[in-house]
A and B are shown apart, each in its own frame.
Chain A
């Protein structure tokens, strides 16, 4: 069964048509990768799914409910968590507080010490729990952002370029972490990613966006051979000769 359905999403900023009729479905427990060149509308799509941006037209359905007009805080309560390409943590709050707030406000769970500890443990940050978010390294901030999303008890995680700016070792660590979350908690994941190696390890299925349209949908292995995709990334000449 599809947990998330987006139908015919259109979004323009001024004259710039960023999304031009994007439709996709994500099944329960599946990990869907979204790739595409810069400016192809990936982040806008994530913003539409998390409710930060309202689409001009189109419908977003989550767990059978039309949430197109829901604001982000209501979606959070439904169990839609997200991370940002550039982390949006509460810089002047501690790691504990960053996790405690979504526990209380988002998933309406009791924000007990044990639960907070458990979540921080899961992302490997229990040794940094008293630190302010602003004092953490980039890789740690990414982990904390994952922890914050996990505190929502999410059914769906939207990950926007988690690996951006990380070194290969940190990338591999976070790949393992996400795999663990997927296997242990069975969370459905939509992941936007430029680091294709990481994506190949995580995604069950991949869609490719180019100029606001879906040009490919299928297995990762097929994507790298697809002529349309190569053309979108490398231009006409390479696409023709590939």
Chain B
């Protein structure tokens, strides 16, 4: 069996999920200029929500994606209205601290509710896999991959084809310029915060069927979406997708050839390299510091 090919396929499958998972984070960062350190916990929140619906309502985590999306959207708008709108008027550093506090709050609340045990959503199709030539492909991973790509593409269409999407891109590019052509940025901020959070919650559903999770996994996920945004750059969906695939390749290959413990080390080392030699990231249209 060709190990290289198997690793390549694994990377692609994981990369698709990573892209979708990070695109909400990159959106919030690019448009609102908020580095939301609670984003990873949002994903875990989505995972627990889908676990809850699976256990008590018998709803498959794939089918409950719309529920997570809607809940995330409302949650994102609420948090933006109650917390970030105020925090954004203060120093940028305050937003960072507040989002960190939110992360601690969410993970501990989940710990109280669900305990610290590793939970998983055991869907009936969870263990199946099939052979494609010499490569083993897990059905769940393939399903998550396809759904991630579809949802990311839907977001791409939304941002490029709808008026609201165009307004979001305009605000991301130039907040003052957007106001001068009649766009109300406060409204766009709310929609973007809602949309980004909806994506995090929905990716939680997918995360939950890929692997087990605990209330405290959010921190690591925040590191990952941060890495992806730096690697790919900000300003376009394509950037998050490029970053997502790149991180997946780095993780899969380095953990196979160097050992599991090395993967984050290698990823962070690459990130430092990117920051030094190509601060806009692979496909970034703007330097993250230029985001207003």
Contact = CB atoms under 8 A, between A and B. Distances in A.
Task: State yes or no: do A and B come from one complex.
Answer: yes
B169 A93 contact: yes
Contact of B181 (A52, A91, A101): A101
B185 A73 contact: yes
B102 interface: no
Contacts of B180: 50, 52, 72-73, 76, 81-82, 88, 149
Interface in B49-71: none
A105 B173 contact: no
B181 A152 contact: yes
A152 B173 contact: no
A93 B173 contact: yes
A148 interface: yes
A134 to B, nearest CB: 9
A55 interface: no
B166 interface: yes
Main secondary structure of the interface of B (DSSP, over half): helix
Given A92-B235, A92-B236, A102 B173 contact: no
Interface in B235-267: 235-236
Contacts, number: 73
How many chain A residues sit at the interface, stated as a range, is 20 to 34
B182 A88 contact: no
Contacts of A51: 179
How many chain B residues sit at the interface, stated as a range, is 20 to 34
Contacts of B185: 73
A73 B183 contact: yes
A227 interface: no
A152 B170 contact: no
Nearest to A81: B180
Contact of A105 (B176, B183, B235): B183
Contacts of B174: 88-91
Interface string A104-121: 111100000000000000
Nearest to B187: A73
Given A90-B170, A90-B173, A104-B163, A151 B235 contact: no
B285 interface: yes
Contacts of A197: none
B101 interface: no
Nearest to A97: B166
A17 interface: no
Nearest to A106: B182
Contacts of A90: 169-170, 173-174, 177-178
Nearest to A78: B182
A224 to B, nearest CB: 33
B95 interface: no
Interface string B132-174: 0000000000000000000000000000000100110110011
Interface in B22-68: none
Contact of A106 (B173, B181, B235): B181
A72 B179 contact: yes
Contacts of A92: 169, 173, 235-236, 285
B111 interface: no
Contacts of B178: 73, 90, 101
CB-based closest 7 A-B pairs: A106-B182, A102-B181, A72-B179, A76-B182, A105-B182, A88-B177, A73-B179
Given A52-B180, A73-B179, 19 more contacts: A50-B180, A71-B179, A72-B179, A82-B180, A88-B177, A90-B170, A90-B173, A90-B174, A93-B166, A97-B166, A100-B166, A101-B170, A102-B182, A104-B163, A105-B167, A105-B181, A105-B182, A105-B183, A107-B182
Interface of A: 50-52, 71-73, 76-77, 81-82, 88-93, 97, 100-102, 104-107, 148-149, 151-152
28 contacts: A51-B179, A52-B179, A52-B180, A73-B179, A73-B182, A73-B185, A76-B179, A76-B181, A76-B182, A81-B180, A88-B174, A89-B174, A90-B170, A90-B173, A90-B174, A90-B178, A91-B174, A91-B285, A92-B173, A92-B285, A101-B167, A101-B181, A104-B163, A105-B181, A105-B182, A107-B182, A152-B181, A152-B182
